[in-house]
Amino acid sequence: MLRVVSNSYAPDCEGVRRREFLRVGALSLGGLNLSQLLATRAWAGTGSDVLTGKSVVMLNLQGGPTHIETFDPKMTAPSEYRAMFGEVKTSLPGVTFGSHFPRLAKLAHKMAVVRSYAHGIGSHGPAAAHVAAGGNPTGACMASLFSRIAGFTNNESGIPNNTVIVPGATGEAYRSLNAVPDRIIGTGSLPPAYKAFDPSKGSQVLNDMQLSIGDDRFADRRALLNGVDKLKRWADAFSIISSAGDIEQQAIDVILGGVSKAFDLSSEDPRTLESYDTSRFKIPPGLSKRKKNGKAIPGFAPVALGRQMLMARKLCEAGCGFVTVTNTGWDMHGNAFGIDDGMPILGPAVDKAVSAFIEDCEQRGLSEKILLVITGEFGRTPRINKQGGRDHWGRLCTLAFAGGGLKMGNVVGRSDRTASAPADNPVTSNMLLGTIMHTLLNIPNLRLRANLPDDVQRAIVTSRPIPQLI
């Protein structure tokens, strides 16, 4: 048992106050400690023969992003259908994006945009869960499905393989911002242990590892980092790291390396931080008071989105297999945000954060190793409503990709004349699942694995990727 004393106290079962410790060990998986878990792959069915070594970052635009004002402006349609703010030319001849995406437009040759993705579900919860799962019959989100194959953590770095980054994960200043992650990180028929690791508040993974500092278990990132710093100094003083075996060393690295570095943005080059910075995209004064549901609007500010995307890159670089990034405010009916006042705030923030991510990955040689997926639960109604918004629409949805070794510079499918439904090359949720799983996993080798539940294996091996991207 490795432990370091914190400054907080907690009562035991007899009511006695005692110091809390940072512990590594006593996992709830049949009595395994962390070292033992890292030493074996059989329980989770992992192995280098199945994993491709690539990662996925899914940017989930929560609330249902408008497919028209993002990647299919449809300026040939009647005025009540076309993109409210017009279009911008991209680096692909004849292809345009919504006008709030000028940076991404210049990178269109490094992206693949799908204009024919549909699933037909128009209710937030069911649609969000369906897209996150890629429609697979286990009901588990794709990130949990992947961690069931790959294991809870990366075998080398100890980084959790399934992590969700909400605004509050990037710092205390962003804890009041909205996030509804439970809709998109469900485990379906899989055990709850496969739920995403949420560094903003702790998770089942953290609880299983019994990493305790203070009262809230990782809720205070500063206390975590201070505790890790003390542990480093203590370890150096007593030379425990140099004398540890390989597996024990790996267990220590989960704490000293994975947690303290991958989740900490302070060590990043200031120029990198600036390139991602979305702090200037704030809610205009008085907007909240002018709307029926205006009280929700301040929580939609995308000021942390750049930091979330940067943290996602850092996690993938450290070995995390699947990162989900949440960004709220896209339910643009007009009673809170509408298209008219929501897009000028959220659109430019996504434009800056995502373009910075794409360029950063390229500069670091990670473009082939990280697949970015941009989506949400559904699209928005083709016709603009009387409140300057668009309503729920499951017959056409936003979907775009970048990197991951897939064929970029692509526009897949085409919408009809009013951007109401696919006109050709329809893309299904099973194809979204297939594209992601074929990026992360060696499917032929997965078919040979005998230690996986039938429903998990079947869900993955029967999925089919979008043919234009492979």
- Report d(CA 324, CA 377) in Å as an integer: 14
Check whether domain 45-199+287-469 has CATH 3.40.720, yes or no = yes
The H or E element spanning position 20 is: strand 17-21
Q: Which two three-digit tokens encode residue 459?
A: 């869900």
The H or E element spanning position 9 is: strand 5-11
- Asked if 10 contacts 18 with a C-beta cutoff of 8 angstroms, the reply is yes
pLDDT (tens digit per residue) in 343-375: 999 999 999 999 999 999 999 999 999 999 999
Q: Is the pLDDT of residue 453 over 70?
A: yes
Amino acid at 9: Y
What pLDDT, on the 0 to 100 scale, is given for residue 337?
98
pLDDT (tens digit per residue) in 367-422: 999 999 999 999 999 999 999 999 999 999 999 999 999 999 999 999 999 999 99
Q: How far is CA 382 from the centre of its chain?
A: 27
Confidence of residue 3 (pLDDT cuts 50, 70, 90): very low
Confidence of residue 239 (pLDDT cuts 50, 70, 90): very low
DSSP 197: B
- Asked if 456 contacts 148 with a C-beta cutoff of 8 angstroms, the reply is yes
- Asked if 33 contacts 213 with a C-beta cutoff of 8 angstroms, the reply is no
- For residues 448 and 429, which has the higher predicted lDDT (pLDDT)? 429
Residue from 110, 144, 124 nearest 324 by CA:
144
- Asked if 22 contacts 212 with a C-beta cutoff of 8 angstroms, the reply is yes
- For residues 200 and 306, which has the higher predicted lDDT (pLDDT)? 306
What pLDDT, on the 0 to 100 scale, is given for residue 158?
80
The H or E element spanning position 423 is: strand 422-424
Give 56's Cβ-side CA count (13 Å radius): 32
Average pLDDT, the chain: 84
Give me the phi and psi of 167, to 5 degrees please: -55, -40
Q: Which two three-digit tokens encode residue 166?
A: 């909400």
Q: Would you list the domain boundaries of the chain?
A: 45-199+287-469
What pLDDT, on the 0 to 100 scale, is given for residue 78?
96
What pLDDT, on the 0 to 100 scale, is given for residue 229?
57
What pLDDT, on the 0 to 100 scale, is given for residue 211?
42
Which residues, listed in sequence order, are joined to residue 97 by a DSSP beta bridge?
88
pLDDT (tens digit per residue) in 110-125: 999 999 999 999 999 9
Residue from 352, 451, 359 nearest 403 by CA:
359
Beta strands in 244-301 (DSSP E): none
Give the whole-number percent of the chain exceeding pLDDT 90: 72
What pLDDT, on the 0 to 100 scale, is given for residue 254?
52
- Report d(CA 114, CA 409) in Å as an integer: 11
Residue from 274, 276, 271 nearest 353 by CA:
276
pTM value > 0.85 = no
Confidence of residue 261 (pLDDT cuts 50, 70, 90): confident
The strand pair at 55-61 and 87-89 is best described as unpaired
